């Protein structure tokens, strides 16, 4: 007898608020992240027979892309090996696992929740509580937003643990509290811009997020990433955001999609938003 179980979970792009989903900021000030799941996935399969059990994974996204791939993989793993079905419980379980195996104990909560729930969400983190607020847009508005966003893979590895550790260490020293508060508040302003259909303001706020994030640590926007941002701004972009905690991975641009695609060519990761989240296949 052979038992087969298949699931998939999406990765995410984060628009604003990253790092404010990490303790101790969540407990002292309350964090907020605006992000969106996209149609690039980690796929997993569990095959069990009377004699063997095999787990397999694969993802259709570059490694170290800054899109939360490792947490999406862990969401898939928990969905395969456990009986949990409630997405919030799966996300909570993944966070506990990541926290238990992390040497730095500096782990955010946005990635596993994006992979579990899907959609465009404002996520609020108050102490240990996570609140998921779906940003409701019409089909036409979703398409308009998709047609203004271009995701570019920089080819530079992204190691979130290193950059997050530097940022949180600075927070503990009282060096970047105000920057993180502004980053959190930008997430709310971007959510409001989307709700009001002010997509131009949304795009411009990407620049504000990156400007504040670059002040957290010198490693977040190195010269290579800044050169890519500058090239995008000279070729149709009005806004740019380093994905994840920065330092490498991917950059999200808002602007003229045709010009940006022409400029960055094969480095562009085409996507649409995913509204299903974790899915059993």
Percent of the chain with pLDDT strictly greater than 70: 93
For the cut 70, the answer to whether the pLDDT of residue 104 exceeds it is no
The answer, yes or no, to whether the previous bond of 24 is cis (omega within 30 of 0) is yes
* pLDDT, greater one: 199 or 51: 199
Write out the H or E segment, with its range, that includes residue 72: helix 69-81
> How confident is the prediction for the chain on average, in pLDDT?
92
How many angstroms separate the Cα of 149 from the Cα of each of 12, 50, 203?
Answer: 13, 48, 9
Write out the H or E segment, with its range, that includes residue 224: helix 223-233
Give the per-residue SS3 of 40-63: EEEEEEEEECCCCEEEEEEECCCC
Average pLDDT score over residue span 136-165: 83
Q: Residues 18, 109: contact at Cβ < 8 Å? A: no
Alpha-helical (H) ranges within 82-222 are: 87-101, 110-117, 139-146, 160-172, 177-195, 199-214
Write out the H or E segment, with its range, that includes residue 77: helix 69-81
pTM value is: 0.94
pLDDT digits (tens, 9 = 90+) for 155-193: 876 555 455 666 667 767 777 889 999 999 999 999 999
How many angstroms separate the Cα of 10 from the Cα of each of 115, 152, 245?
Answer: 5, 17, 18
């Amino acid at each position: 007898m052979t038992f087969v179980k298949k699931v998939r979970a999406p990765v995410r792009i984060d628009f604003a608020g990253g790092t404010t989903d990490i303790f101790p900021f969540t407990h002292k000030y309350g964090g907020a992240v605006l992000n969106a799941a996209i149609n690039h996935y980690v796929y997993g399969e569990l095959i069990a027979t009377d004699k063997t059990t095999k787990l397999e994974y694969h993802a259709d996204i570059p490694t170290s892309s800054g899109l939360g791939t490792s947490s999406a993989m862990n969401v898939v793993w928990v969905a395969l090996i456990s009986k949990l079905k409630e997405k919030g419980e799966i996300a909570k379980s993944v966070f506990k696992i990541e926290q238990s195996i992390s040497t730095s104990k500096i782990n955010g909560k946005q990635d596993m929740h994006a992979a579990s729930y899907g959609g465009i969400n404002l996520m609020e983190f108050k102490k240990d509580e996570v609140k998921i607020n779906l940003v409701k847009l019409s089909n036409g508005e979703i398409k308009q937003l998709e047609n203004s966003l271009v995701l570019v893979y920089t080819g530079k590895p992204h190691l979130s643990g290193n950059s997050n550790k530097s940022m949180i260490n600075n927070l503990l020293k009282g060096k970047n509290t105000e920057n993180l508060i502004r980053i959190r508040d930008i997430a709310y302003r971007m959510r409001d811009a989307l709700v009001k259909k002010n997509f131009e303001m949304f795009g411009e706020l990407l620049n504000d997020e990156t400007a504040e994030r670059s002040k957290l640590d010198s490693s977040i926007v190195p010269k290579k990433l800044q050169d890519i941002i500058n090239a995008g701004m000279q070729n149709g972009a009005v806004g740019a955001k380093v994905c994840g905690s920065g330092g490498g991975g991917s950059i999200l641009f808002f602007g003229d999609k045709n010009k940006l695609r022409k400029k960055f060519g094969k480095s562009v990761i085409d996507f649409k938003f995913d509204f299903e989240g974790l899915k059993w296949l």
